[in-house]
Structure 1
Amino acid sequence: MPADKPTNIPKVCYEIFVRSFCDSNGDGIGDLNGIISKLDYLADLGIEAIWLTPIHPSPSYHKYDVTDYYAIEPEYGTMDDFRRLLAGAHRRGMAVYLDLIVNHTSTLHPWFREARKSKDNPYREFYWWMTQDQIDHLGISERETSDDSQVVYPWHTNPGDDEKYYGLFYKGMPDLNYHSEALREEIAKIVRFWLNDIGVDGFRLDAARHIYPEWDREQSVTFWDFFSKIVAKANPTAFTVGEVWADTEEVAPYFRHLNATFHFDLSFALQRMLVAGRDEQLIDKLIASFNLFQKYNPLFVNAIMLTNHDQERIGSVVNGNTAKIKLAASILLTLPGQPYLYYGEEIGMLGSKPDPYIREPFLWTADPDDPQLARWIKPQFTTPKTVAPLSAQIHDESSVFNHYKSLLHLRKTEPALAQVLAPNLQPVRLGNDELLAYFRPHADRSLMVIHNLGEHEVEFTIPEDKSLFTEVLFSTDPPHEKQLTTNRLSPHSSIILAPARVSAKPENQ
């Protein structure tokens, strides 16, 4: 079983692609000091934890190929900068999670530089090596592509060597081989360094299902048993959230050892539903997944998101339709779980693949010379012509930003929405697949949520057992402000209903 959960699990998390968020020194690259300058913004928005994409030295723009696990990428700042970021976040009640890449390193990492020198090098065992005959004998020279890797031929040549090394994602990212006890000890040192010496609050764990290659797949889950014990010993309250990009059935066993995993099935279902305008029996499927997860860990944390740094941005999925962008947020932030917002979702940023263009700079203002603006890439999707910058949205009550902010405030203040552990969710059947409706039961105050996914106004009938739910807590449909005035819901609108308050009768005089 995983270590005991932190006593205060952050309810709303925010993923920052560091290079693109905010520049502090005019070099065009987002950095740690830029993030520090926006901590008040994040706290005001309602964020309780931030996940930083990799901040270690790396030859790539995305930093997922690490060359030094103990240092900070110089483009992003220094270790002192990171300590200030950590302290500033903690003062504001925010946790900080590091993206930890333990599936692979860069070919430029000292371990691999040594490993590729000869078969006798002690670091050789840190990676996977085979001759072509061995690869052919095992039938593993090719692989089927997956959502998280399009590589078909994962074996790569090392000049002057009759053995090839295994790199699932890219030839510049050789996979680590955890059959090596020496490697396991090195990873344990890294975990202890960041949790104890530096004081981070936890890790987002990259490629968690690929720790061992496909022919050794069953070992990947057991690796996290080893890892979770290291984390628990270093800091029992540290939080772990795994990237297990797979179907729910494959994800579930990882809850034995990780506090949370991302719910990719939910992400893709939401995207399909927003495009098609129809429910896919989402609530029934979610409840089934919860029942499966709790078999492995009764205290599982369901990490939910619309999209992340590897997926087309939700704004582009819905073709920039502002009503659908808001609807996506309304659904995500009224479902149970621990939501992760991808930076810029709160202003409706756009982005389609290839990857750099789903990681474009955050638009703080419309000023093309804004010194905060990252300039490492010329954006193709998120520009002042296509997306209103934050500076404009803050003062617009109808903006995507204020929609997010209102929902986040409501989520944190309503216990029925704020519940993370033991997800409280029941279906509400309205007999129309253009409507997505569900019930969030809670001892303090239960809530009913209804979304119109379709392109037309829809009439509905509230079930008899929910007839008291007529007080409107939140609505994107103007006719419904404080009370449910009509059983109609406009296209792409959402409404959150609470039981009507009963006025006390005056005592007889």
Structure 2
Amino acid sequence: MKEMVRVMLKKKLMLMLGIIVMAASLCACGKNKPDKVADEPIPTLGPFATEEEKAEYYKKLTAHIKVEKANGEYEYDKEDNIINDKYRNFYQIFVATFCDSNNDGMGDLNGITSKLDYIQDIGYNGIWLTPITPAPSYFKYDATDLKAIDPQFGTEADFKKLADECKKRNITLILDLAVNHTSASHPWFMDVKANPGTSKYTSYYNITKEKLGETFYELGNGYYYEGEFWDQMPDLKLSNPEVRKEIEKVIDYWMGFGVGGFRLDAVIHYDEDNTEENVKILKWINDYTKKIDPNAYIVGEAWVSNGIVSQYYASTVDSFFNFDLGGSEGVVTQVARAPIGTEVAADYIPALKSNHSLVKKNNPEGIDAPFLSNHDMPRSHAFLNGDADRMKLAIGLYQMITGTTYTYYGEEIGMAGGGDQDVNYRMGMYWSKADNGQQPDSPQGATLTNADMTFGSVEEQLADKKSILNYTKRILQLKNENPEIARGEVSEITGIEDKEVIAMKKTYNGSSVIVVINTSRYPKEIKVDKSNGYKEIVGYATTDDTKVTIKDDTLTMAGNALVVLK
């Protein structure tokens, strides 16, 4: 009996062991099955999904896309192909807060000269200086002498050295020419105030016997003067031939140093609300300057919509800043900060094509002047919420626009600068975490410090392959290697239905490149048919140290990535 029980137990044990072995085998077989694209179904996205739910949705949707890491390597370096014309990469310098050469807390001309190699190494070949004339204010747009250099910034010899060093590097140096008004402390206006109605300079300004509006201020003896910006900046009467002679002397003075042209301040206020007259004044300034140097470059500040700016191009001034594309509400920013899964990027190419038509309508030689921010508005750090990837994307977006582009100092390192106070947009350039004496003091009243500069100093970012500074260098490298980017006429690439992808062809002088930008935060596989006329990748810029690769005619790109095909 015991023997029978022993045999039965043995059989049961063998059966159980067999079941265990079979189960283990089945599990092993399951492990060798091909991976699924997703182990669980991707949830649907409801119409009222939060940003967090959208992020999770797109993360799962794109999980199968494998983007290669670059590990700091880049295989597309080639020689620059820079054309010596007016299509340039300009760098705007607010002189007082850029670089201090003598440790007195004030930016100066010698400080700028010491940073020319830095500026050129990033990829810039143009510099715009804000005014350097003597003035009561720190911003210097209210000159007391239009033919002099403020001693805080340096001497005539210092400026001549800067101009000469720029020429050696083929950097076009342009100077802010603020001739809409003077300071109330200018000798001309001081005489007018001392002798209201009888001064020989009365006709230099817009003097009236009536107060014609809120921008007219009492002068005395029943006279009023116009000051469109404020009472300490009286407006000049630029239609007066005597005033024009004085302005021509001013142009002669600065051109004598070898500057390459001017940025014209506040041109819509030359004759308030009179576009036709302003165009005539601009034509006079443009023609006079180009009699001295036919290759001089002039850009105007007309802070109005592109439809009106188009009329200003009839002046034959080379460029006007594009306020519809830049700033906190411009097309570039709208695309860069678009919520997840939206189609805002679809507005980019139509905006570029429309703008190109408006520029060329009244001046076939006109050159657009795109920018992201300047000294009169918050920096991109503010309106892109300090998001480094979106700030990089915005840099790529505006630098791909046909024209002569402008970068405000500090944008290349993502400096902070927001709120309603202009002084916060003009902070001392953050050169180094250590106090090396080069960083000027920020303007009085500024509320930001280096601690607010989220992404670190120039010195720190140069050493970081993924920094905003090194991204900017890569973008400008692409432009300097491929002249079609700055000069090309835009056409849209067909066959790409993804509304988060920008794909455009830029054609110049019979040569074309294709620019593809993934404005999404997530990776994409993008098919670009070879019938669009390209052979290979010639360069790319990514925000996260990844590669852009192509197999057959399908690109694999990380979120925010940009690639150039040719």
If the length of structure 2 is used for normalisation, what is the TM-score? 0.78
Provide the C-alpha distance between the structure 2 equivalents of 1:86 and 1:468, rounded to a whole number of angstroms. 41
**Which of 306, 320, 328 is the matching residue for 1:261?**
320
Provide the C-alpha distance between the structure 1 equivalents of 2:322 and 2:377, rounded to a whole number of angstroms. 13
**Which of 87, 90, 93 is the matching residue for 1:16?**
93
Shift in Å, 1:275: 2.1
Provide the C-alpha distance between the structure 1 equivalents of 2:228 and 2:424, rounded to a whole number of angstroms. 23
Provide the C-alpha distance between the structure 2 equivalents of 1:433 and 1:297, rounded to a whole number of angstroms. 33
Provide the C-alpha distance between the structure 2 equivalents of 1:446 and 1:95, rounded to a whole number of angstroms. 26
* TM alignment of 1:76-475, pairs within 5 A: 76-116=153-193, 117-132=195-210, 135=212, 141=213, 153-158=214-219, 160-195=220-255, 197-214=256-273, 216-256=274-314, 257-267=316-326, 268-277=330-339, 278-279=344-345, 281-352=347-418, 353-367=420-434, 369-377=435-443, 380-381=447-448, 383-384=450-451, 386-419=454-487, 423-429=488-494, 430-442=496-508, 446-463=512-529, 465-466=531-532, 468=534, 470-471=536-537, 473-475=539-541
Provide the C-alpha distance between the structure 1 equivalents of 2:347 and 2:370, rounded to a whole number of angstroms. 17
Shift in Å, 1:228: 1.7
Shift in Å, 1:418: 4.2
* Pair 376,462 (structure 1): closer, same or farther in 2 beyond 3 Å: closer
Matched to 1:365, the amino acid is S
Provide the C-alpha distance between the structure 2 equivalents of 1:358 and 1:233, rounded to a whole number of angstroms. 36
Instruction: Note if 1:75 corresponds to 2:152.
Output: yes
Shift in Å, 1:284: 1.6
Matched to 1:295, the amino acid is K
Alignment coverage as a number of residue pairs: 469
Which secondary structure state, in structure 2, belongs to the residue aligned with residue 254 of structure 1?
Answer: helix
Matched to 1:441, the amino acid is T
Which secondary structure state, in structure 2, belongs to the residue aligned with residue 40 of structure 1?
Answer: helix
Provide the C-alpha distance between the structure 1 equivalents of 2:395 and 2:493, rounded to a whole number of angstroms. 20
Provide the C-alpha distance between the structure 2 equivalents of 1:382 and 1:455, rounded to a whole number of angstroms. 30
Provide the C-alpha distance between the structure 1 equivalents of 2:345 and 2:358, rounded to a whole number of angstroms. 22
286-295 or 332-341, which deviates more: 286-295
Provide the C-alpha distance between the structure 1 equivalents of 2:403 and 2:309, rounded to a whole number of angstroms. 15
Provide the C-alpha distance between the structure 2 equivalents of 1:67 and 1:279, rounded to a whole number of angstroms. 47
* Pair 10,335 (structure 1): closer, same or farther in 2 beyond 3 Å: closer
Q: Which runs of 5+ in 1 are unaligned?
A: 1-5, 136-140, 142-152, 499-509
312-321 or 483-492, which deviates more: 483-492
Shift in Å, 1:246: 1.0
Which secondary structure state, in structure 1, belongs to the residue aligned with residue 374 of structure 2?
Answer: coil
Matched to 2:154, the amino acid is G
Shift in Å, 1:496: 2.4
* Pair 494,114 (structure 1): closer, same or farther in 2 beyond 3 Å: same
Q: Is the 8 A contact 1:363 1:384 kept in 2?
A: no
Q: Is the 8 A contact 2:174 2:263 kept in 1?
A: yes
Matched to 1:425, the amino acid is V
Which secondary structure state, in structure 1, belongs to the residue aligned with residue 201 of structure 2?
Answer: helix
The Cα offsets for residues 211-253 of structure 1, whole Å up to 9 and x where unpaired, read as: 1022x44311111122122112222221111011111111112
Q: Is the 8 A contact 2:412 2:468 kept in 1?
A: yes
452-461 or 286-295, which deviates more: 452-461
Shift in Å, 1:351: 0.6
Aligned to 2:116: 39
Which secondary structure state, in structure 2, belongs to the residue aligned with residue 122 of structure 1?
Answer: coil
Q: Is the 8 A contact 2:180 2:269 kept in 1?
A: yes
Provide the C-alpha distance between the structure 1 equivalents of 2:270 and 2:131, rounded to a whole number of angstroms. 18
**Quick one: percent identity of the two aligned structures?**
33
Provide the C-alpha distance between the structure 1 equivalents of 2:440 and 2:551, rounded to a whole number of angstroms. 45
The Cα offsets for residues 244-279 of structure 1, whole Å up to 9 and x where unpaired, read as: 111111111222320111111111211222222522
* Pair 210,174 (structure 1): closer, same or farther in 2 beyond 3 Å: same
Matched to 1:58, the amino acid is A
Which secondary structure state, in structure 2, belongs to the residue aligned with residue 266 of structure 1?
Answer: coil
Provide the C-alpha distance between the structure 1 equivalents of 2:477 and 2:165, rounded to a whole number of angstroms. 21
Provide the C-alpha distance between the structure 1 equivalents of 2:380 and 2:425, rounded to a whole number of angstroms. 10
Q: Is the 8 A contact 1:303 1:338 kept in 2?
A: yes
Q: Is the 8 A contact 1:95 1:201 kept in 2?
A: yes
Which secondary structure state, in structure 2, belongs to the residue aligned with residue 198 of structure 1?
Answer: coil
* Pair 345,120 (structure 1): closer, same or farther in 2 beyond 3 Å: same
Aligned to 2:54: none
Shift in Å, 1:457: 4.0
475-484 or 68-77, which deviates more: 475-484
Which secondary structure state, in structure 1, belongs to the residue aligned with residue 368 of structure 2?
Answer: strand
Q: Is the 8 A contact 1:302 1:338 kept in 2?
A: yes
Which secondary structure state, in structure 1, belongs to the residue aligned with residue 337 of structure 2?
Answer: helix
436-445 or 175-184, which deviates more: 436-445
* Pair 61,79 (structure 1): closer, same or farther in 2 beyond 3 Å: same
Provide the C-alpha distance between the structure 1 equivalents of 2:298 and 2:546, rounded to a whole number of angstroms. 43
Q: Is the 8 A contact 1:472 1:480 kept in 2?
A: no
Which secondary structure state, in structure 2, belongs to the residue aligned with residue 279 of structure 1?
Answer: helix
The Cα offsets for residues 20-44 of structure 1, whole Å up to 9 and x where unpaired, read as: 1100111111010110111111121
Matched to 2:433, the amino acid is A
Aligned to 2:40: none
The Cα offsets for residues 405-443 of structure 1, whole Å up to 9 and x where unpaired, read as: 122122111132242xxx421123533332222112346
Shift in Å, 1:384: 4.5
Shift in Å, 1:494: 2.2
Q: Provide the alpha-carbon RMSD of the alignment.
A: 2.2
Matched to 2:236, the amino acid is L
Provide the C-alpha distance between the structure 2 equivalents of 1:496 and 1:380, rounded to a whole number of angstroms. 41
Q: Is the 8 A contact 2:346 2:500 kept in 1?
A: no
The Cα offsets for residues 376-416 of structure 1, whole Å up to 9 and x where unpaired, read as: 44764462552311111111111111111122122111132
